[in-house]
Structure 1
Amino acid sequence: MRKRILMLDDNQDVLDVVKEALSYERFEVTITSETENIIESISNHKPDLLMLDYKLGGLRGDEICRQVKAHPALCNMPVIICSAYLNKDDMLACGCDAIISKPFGLDELIDTVNGLLVESVKSESQ
């Protein structure tokens, strides 16, 4: 079964590139720029991994990450925060599993996603 990824960003170009790159790697990718009711959307979509832009219209990525990590049904989902505004200490404080600096290379993106999904499979099997 293909792993499901949900990507939230307010830049359509970034969403399109990420979707194309990860779809090529055989992931099922859903993209959105909507932050309204995002926890409900994540719960309904049930992704294996969540990617968030840090600076969004409305909620910030770190705020969404905190909500995900505090949610009993979502707390074990790996979360990647992508940002050009890097204060890694602030971003790590929200509980994210990885940070990718924008602009990022596709190899870095794919390696980070694969690494987190392999880790989450190992955690589930223990």
Structure 2
Amino acid sequence: MSKRILAIDDDPDVLEMYSLILTMEGYDVKTLLSPDNLSGAIFDFVPDLILLDIQLGYYNGLEICSKLKSNPLTTHIPVFIISAHESIHKAKTDFNADDYILKPFDMAHLLEKIDDRVSGKVVSFRRASA
């Protein structure tokens, strides 16, 4: 089963880029131009990771991130803030984002961060010899 990424950005070109590239990388992607139906999208789509812009019209992505991280039903979902806004540097410390990436960004760097966060790491445990 492919990992699911929910991307929220008010720029349709950014969302199209996410959709094309992440789908080519094997992810299942859902995009939203507005967080109006974010709760419904989260519970219908069940994302493994959320990509979230800061400036979303009337909404502030940092505040949305904080609400997601304080909700017991969504706190486990990693949230990456992706923005050119200067407040991005507070995303982890003040709003509990799992990571942040400044726009413009290198897609290979974003993919590396996503892969690191959502891919299951297999750890080999060996029994000690008796």
**Shorter-normalised TM-score: what interval?**
0.7 to 0.9
Percent pairwise identity: 33
Residues 80-120 of structure 1: CA distance to partner in whole angstroms, max 9, x if unpaired?
A: 00010133442121110110110111101101111111379
2:45 corresponds to: 45
Q: 1:77 — aligned with what?
A: 77
Q: CA RMSD in A?
A: 1.9
- TM-score, normalising length: structure 1: 0.88
- Count of residues paired in the alignment: 122
- Secondary structure at the counterpart of residue 37 of structure 1: helix
Task: Name the residue aligned to 1:102.
Answer: 103
Deviation for aligned residue 1:73: 1.6
Structure 1: gaps spanning 5 or more residues: none
CA distance in 1, matches of 2:8, 2:52: 5
Separation in structure 1 between the aligned mates of residue 16 and residue 79 of structure 2, nearest angstrom: 19
Equivalent residue, structure 2, for 1:30: 30
Based on CA coordinates, which of the two structures has the bigger radius of gyration? 2
> Aligned in 2, Cα 1:77/1:120: closer, same or farther, shift over 3 Å?
farther
Shift of residue 34 of structure 1?
1.9
Q: 1:88 to 1:32 in 2, by over 3 A?
A: closer
Q: Which amino acid aligns with 1:116?
A: R
Shift of 1:55: 1.0
Structure 1 residues 55, 113: closer, same or farther in 2, change over 3 A?
same
Counterpart of 1:18, as a letter, is Y
Residue 40 of structure 1: CA displacement? 3.0
> 3-state SS of the aligned residue for 2:29?
strand
Q: C-alpha separation between the residues in 1 aligned to 2:87 and 2:122?
A: 29
Please report the TM-score for the alignment, with normalisation by the length of structure 2: 0.85
Going from structure 1 to structure 2, the CA distance change for 1:63 and 1:119 (only over 3 Å counts) comes to: farther
Letter in 2 for 1:94: F
Shift of 1:58: 2.0
